Amino acid sequence: MGTKLHSLKEGETVEVRGPNQQWTFKKGQYSHYGIVAGGTGITPLIQAAEYILKNGTAKVTFTTFNKTPSDVLLRSELAALETSYPGRMQVVHCVEGGEKDAGCQQGGRCCMPRLLKANLPAPADGVMVLVCGPQAMTGHVAGPKTEDYKQGEIGGVLKVLGYESKHVWKV
């Protein structure tokens, strides 16, 4: 969404709809949430993580993907959640390149399967993975949404790792 907005020329318009509730948290439905955020896709997912942590007992594993360490958004807010919920919240930042940063793992698209396998809860009953980011990233991680913005088939890295549609929600 951010890329689209930044590419607008003066005088162009954008249509907006919503808010549309896409997914509903049910306390106790899942014991472990894996969260995969790319760029500004972190915005709805940090809200979901905070709500899950405050209103349940599930673990949350939060993985961000960015181009450089300086692109990582809401780093201090994620660190604060990790501190506030020890043993329940884990954050991993993955970056393609840029300057060295002790708080980030290096790895681009080619390393994503290895990084996700290492950081997400394994596919099982009681596991839900939430994915949000640029359309290309979401498609690579979980398969694309349909043209009418429905979930579509599970695909991408998560399918290769053994996740099924019941384990994944594309925000």
Sorted by where each begins, the domain ranges of the chain are: 37-170
What is the enclosing helix (H) or strand (E) of 33?
A: strand 32-38
Lowest-pLDDT range of 20-24, 37-41, 124-128, 135-139: 20-24
Structure token pair of residue 162: 């053994």
Peptide bond into 69 cis (omega under 30): no
Q: Residue range 157-161: average pLDDT?
A: 96
pTM listed for this prediction: 0.84
Sheet holding 59-66, edge to edge: 104-106, 89-95, 59-66, 32-38, 127-132, 168-170
Vertex 65 angle, CA 63 and 69, to 5° = 110
Residue 19 has pLDDT above 80, yes or no: no
Residue 109 has pLDDT above 60, yes or no: no
Cα-Cα-Cα-Cα dihedral sign, residues 33, 37, 40, 41: negative
Fold adopted by 37-170:
Rossmann fold (3.40.50)
pLDDT tier for residue 49 given thresholds of 50, 70 and 90: very high
DSSP 136-147: HHHHHHH-PPPT
Residue 58 has pLDDT above 90, yes or no: yes
Spatial distance between the Cα atoms of 123 and 162, rounded to a whole number of angstroms = 6
Q: Residue range 32-48: average pLDDT?
A: 95
